């Protein structure tokens, strides 16, 4: 995750820079004491998250966020609690009051959700043996859990991938796929028939658990 720090106080900024370096999942794209220079930088260097102070002489952190292009996540880091309401009105992910400790910093960053890569594309790559196979997401019939792996079923073929059902569920578009059991996610477009506790998907009869049945039925278009 690429981040940018904007704070006119060098001491606080240097400490946050060090926190970023300590965090394996973060990389520092830039660090600025002047918000206008940060905005210039961002025009050519988009980032995932911006850590920004509020009271700065050249431009306030709020004004800077209002001028942002794109949609990076914003975490305000400031010396006063009184701006919190306005900060959250500006869709801040979090609001940190100085002095900021490392645990609190990490906790704030954990709230940042990167845009789902799948939402921008209709393809997904799955590893089959030593090659990556490109699949059209909407061609997936269903996904099954196989221990520490999942099986992705497409046109009678099964691709085995080392991941979890939860990960798979997050990557598949929610409007097209539905969890029906702890071991199965199905493509709505491939459902042929639903009975009391089973769904038939491309001639395969799959179980529907009580936990997921209510949600499935709510989403079905029935007479």
Partner 1 sequence: MLDRDAPIFEVSEEIRNSIIQVYLRDASQSIIEIEGGTIQKEHEVVRKAAHKLKGASATLGATEMTNICRNMENPVMQNMDMLHKLKEAFKTLKNAIA
One symbol per residue from 158 to 197: x for binding partner 1 (CB under 8 A), - otherwise; what is it?
Answer: ----------------------------------------
Please report whether residue 147 would count as binding partner 1 according to CB under 8 A. no
Check binding of 62 to partner 1 (CB under 8 A).
no
Quote the CA–CA distance of 3 and 46 in Å, as a whole number.
9
Tokens found for residue 91: 């869709």
Please report whether residue 86 would count as binding partner 1 according to CB under 8 A: no
Question: Residue 15 Cβ, how far from partner 1 at the closest point, in Å?
Answer: 5
Give the E-state strand segments of 67-148 in sequence order.
73-78, 94-97, 123-128, 131-136, 140-146
Our CB check for partner 1 shows the closer of 100 and 191 to be: 100
Rounded Cα gap, residues 188 and 104, in angstroms: 41
Q: How far apart are CA 139 and CA 189, in angstroms?
A: 9
- Positions of E strands within the chain: 2-6, 27-32, 49-52, 73-78, 94-97, 123-128, 131-136, 140-146, 149-154, 157-161, 177-181, 184-187, 191-194, 198-201, 204-207
- 101 belongs to the binding site for partner 1 (CB under 8 A): yes
How far apart are CB 100 and partner 1 at their closest, in Å? 6
Q: Does 15 bind partner 1 (CB under 8 A)?
A: yes
Phi, psi of 222 (to 5 degrees): -115, 155
Decide whether 19 or 62 has the Cβ nearer to partner 1. 19
Asked if residue 10 binds partner 1 (CB under 8 A), the reply is yes
Nearest residue (CB) to partner 1, 58 versus 167: 58
CB of 55 to partner 1, least distance (A): 6
Q: Nearest 5°: phi and psi at 144?
A: -120, 150
Interface residues toward partner 1, by CB under 8 A = 8-12, 14-15, 18-19, 22, 53, 55, 57, 79-80, 98-102
């Amino acid at each position: 995750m690429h981040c940018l720090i904007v704070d006119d106080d060098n001491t606080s900024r240097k400490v946050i820079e060090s926190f970023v370096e300590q965090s394996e999942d973060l990389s520092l794209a830039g660090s600025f004491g002047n918000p206008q220079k940060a905005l210039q930088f961002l025009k050519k260097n988009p980032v995932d998250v911006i850590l920004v102070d509020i009271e700065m002489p050249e431009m306030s952190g709020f004004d800077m966020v209002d001028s942002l292009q794109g949609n990076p996540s914003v975490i305000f880091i400031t010396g006063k609690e009184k701006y919190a309401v306005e900060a959250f009105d500006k869709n801040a992910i979090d609001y940190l009051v100085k002095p900021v400790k490392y645990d609190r910093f990490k906790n704030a960053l954990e709230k940042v959700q990167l845009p789902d890569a799948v939402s921008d594309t209709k393809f997904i790559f799955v590893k089959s043996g030593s090659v990556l196979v490109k699949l059209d997401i909407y061609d997936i019939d269903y996904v099954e859990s196989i221990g520490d792996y999942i099986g992705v079923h497409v046109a009678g073929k099964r691709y085995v991938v080392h991941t979890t059902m939860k990960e798979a569920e997050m990557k598949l578009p929610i409007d097209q796929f539905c969890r029906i059991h702890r071991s199965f996610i199905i493509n709505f477009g491939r459902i042929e028939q639903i009975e009391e506790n089973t769904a038939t998907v491309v001639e395969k009869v799959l179980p529907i658990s009580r936990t997921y049945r209510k949600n499935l039925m709510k989403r079905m278009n029935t007479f």
